[in-house]
Amino acid sequence: MLDIDDLSISIGPHEIVSIEHLSIPAGRRLGLVGESGSGKTMTAMSIIGLLPREAVVTGSITFDGVPMVNRPERELSKIRGSEIGTIFQDPLRALNPTMRVGKQVAEALRLHNTVPKQQVRSRTIELLDQVQLPEPEVLARRYPHQLSGGQRQRVLIAMAIACDPKLLIADEPTTALDVTVQKEILELLGRLSDELGMAVMFVSHDLGVIQAISDHVAVLYGGRLAETGPTDQIVRSPRHRYTEALIDVNPGHPEDITASLGKALTTIKGSVPPLGAFLPGCRFRGRCPHETERCVQEPPITEMDGGHVFKCWNPVEVP
């Protein structure tokens, strides 16, 4: 349903994103994972044309058979919010503080004329109920500041699914939330995606969160696709050295808490280089503990069973 081929996003002299191929079949969930500055958000936003004005995009993004790259703004804005829904990290900033939340959900419905005028109100309540907000009639009359962080994110999800989108882009939607609320929101998104047959592109820096929501994952580093494939397979047996590092760095839940207490956590050497400061060849060079002489060249693409693909000269050995 969504196909990305030879996508390249540049700002000025710097190529920020360069992806050979990435796709999401209808109704499926894909996680984009990587550190800050790895190009996750740029990749997601390029789909709906929400990039900085000076960004130059080449290659092809096909959504439901329709090309999206360099599409006129008028057509894009019709697709945004109707066929592709979006939710962001900070729900408070995404809501209008001076408008009751019910009205904001109704606005999403009116804008795309999805239901007849007389039904807007009842559909609004239905949507608030669908995202499991308690007493939707009462809640619809509240202002954003009267809701908790989790409730605000639910309102945004209600707005995003208002027009039955085929794809939902979720950019770190649970990063600002408590663990308990995070779990509820992830469960809600999973359930809505199953019930509505809605595909999800889920952006996060936390592989644990990605594993909880999506069956497939794409690991990005320096704007390049390091590894992609089924989430469980990649978490259990990563091949790319960056994926391996991302897994090792996750504090997780140790088996023996007393033994691991106070012991240093595994880290990734250095930090993500600033734009334009990546070395040629493999992007992870300089931070990778398994670097070889060959890594100065662009790494080869290795395809394995089950759609597991990685780009690494010196991959993790499979046992």
Partner 1 sequence: MTDLSSTDGLFFDYGSHTRRRGVDDDWTLRDIAVTIPAGSTVGVVGESGSGKSTLVRLMCGLLMPSRGEITFAGRSVNDWLSEDRLDFHRRNQIVFQSPASSLDPRLRIRTSLSEPTKALERRRPDTAELTGWLADVGLSGDVLSRYPHQLSGGQLQRIAVARALSVRPDVLYADEPTSALDVSVQAQVLNLLMGLKSRHGLTMVLVTHDLAVVARVCEEVIVLKDGQVVEVGPTADIMTDPKTDYTRTLVQASRATSLSF
Where do contacts with partner 1 occur on this chain (CB under 8 A)?
35-36, 148-149, 178-183, 186, 205-209, 211-212, 235-236, 245-247, 249-254, 257-258, 260-268, 271
Nearer to partner 1, 254 or 280 (CB): 254
CA dist., res. 127 & res. 155, Å (int): 9
- Minimum distance from residue 203 beta carbon to partner 1 (Å): 13
- Minimum distance from residue 37 beta carbon to partner 1 (Å): 9
17 to 32, 35, 45, 112: CA distances (angstroms): 13, 14, 12, 32
Give the H/E segment covering residue 263: none
C-beta of residue 1 within 8 angstroms of C-beta of residue 24: yes
DSSP tag of 158: H
Q: Is 220 helix (H, G, I), strand (E, B) or coil?
A: strand
Nearer to partner 1, 86 or 243 (CB): 243
C-beta of residue 85 within 8 angstroms of C-beta of residue 168: yes
Nearer to partner 1, 70 or 260 (CB): 260
The letter for the amino acid at 172 is E
- Minimum distance from residue 57 beta carbon to partner 1 (Å): 26
- Minimum distance from residue 179 beta carbon to partner 1 (Å): 4
Nearer to partner 1, 71 or 205 (CB): 205
- Minimum distance from residue 188 beta carbon to partner 1 (Å): 13
Instruction: Label residue 70 exposed, middle or buried (CB < 10 Å: 0-12, 13-18, 19+).
Output: exposed
Nearer to partner 1, 129 or 184 (CB): 184
